[in-house]
Amino acid sequence: MAAAVARVESLAGMPTIPTEYVRTEEERLSLGDAFEEAKKAAEGPQIPVVDLEGEGCVEEVMRAATEWGVMHIVNHGIDGRLIERLRVAGKTFFDLPIEEKEKYANDQSSGKIQGYGSKLANNTSGQLEWEDYFFHLVFPEQKVDLSIWPKDPTDYVEVTKEFAKAIRGVATNMFRILSLGLGLDPDRIELEIGGMEDLLLQMKINYYPKCPQPELALGVEAHTDVSSLTFILHNMVPGLQVCHDDKWVAAKCVPESLIVHIGDTLEILSNGRFKSVLHRGLVNKDKVRISWAVFCEPPKDKIVLRPLRELVTEAAPAKFPPRTFAQHIQHKVFKKPIPAEQEGV
């Protein structure tokens, strides 16, 4: 088991938060309780809601992907009863005593990233995020390691497997819509990033405890996702904010919807047509927030990511040098340069 790490859940009853969770002065200028920020944002611009069974679905998805990089999708095809079972299973796991959850602890220092964990400081100021999480690969099934999945609740494996298959179908549908919107063959994007065999779905259940000083903390600091698409569902507690026109916009809680983020991978493939959305997570004093994020990632070394050739012209030259997904992560997280020889691949 990994060495003991302070879990954020254990800090939730304190009157003040430890200094390592206090964000920078610049960040704090725009922070606040998630419920209050959601109320303030109710009258401003809103993340688009797209009906996947609607008549102008392709155009609406394209508008959201290019102007926002994020959307709520409804009529996505996943049974609401399955989503509710998934919510119950995740909440039941996080309701277990911390010592029970520690049986599934990950160990980031040794490269074991799957399992129960908390964010380790990876920035110069040593700041931490107000969340605990459970992270695991959920699809393709033959690549999944069930030995690290929770045994309690007893239906966790069954429900999560069923949800993973369902969300994989939604991913295929979204890739088809985005391909068509770019004037490409419907299966163009999905095949470029691994297809049914190699595209990986990683699920991260984010658990944001109540926070005594939400105006000082962040559940997740501002970032873009490295994935192609990220799907998010939550327990109807606000917290997500996205950056639009240089302002933070709070995501509404839209019933029966999934939130979809465009990630870096699709920004690269689309040669910048699609926008990888900058986003962050606020916290609040009154309610625990739980979200389920599913990251659709290409294989780390098998595929070279580059702008699709159909989208590169003399008038629109390639904006991104080729790189593997692993190299992109190294470049983004550790500021390592993209190898020059990669550009000729």
User: What is the residue-wise DSSP string for 193-232?
Assistant: TTHHHH-EEEEEEEEE---S-TTT--SEEEE--SSSEEEE
Q: Which of 204, 252, 287, 331 is catalytic?
A: 204
Q: 76 an active-site residue?
A: no
Q: Is 211 exposed, middle or buried (0-12, 13-18, 19+ CB in 10 A)?
A: buried
Q: 198 an active-site residue?
A: no
Structure tokens at 101: 């959850």
Token pair 């309701």 is found at 95
Q: 261 an active-site residue?
A: no
Spell out a b/e string for 112-138, using b for 16 or more CB atoms within 10 Å of the CB, else e.
eebbbbbbeeeeeeebbbbbbbbbbbb
Q: Which of 76, 225, 234, 264 is catalytic?
A: 225
Q: Which of 223, 285, 319, 331 is catalytic?
A: 223
Q: Which of 101, 244, 279, 328 is catalytic?
A: 279
Helix 57-67 to helix 156-181 angle, to the nearest 10 degrees? 90
Q: 244 an active-site residue?
A: no
Q: Is 27 exposed, middle or buried (0-12, 13-18, 19+ CB in 10 A)?
A: middle
Q: How far is CA 17 from the centre of its chain?
A: 25
Structure tokens at 305: 């990511």
Q: Which residues are catalytic?
A: 204, 223, 225, 279
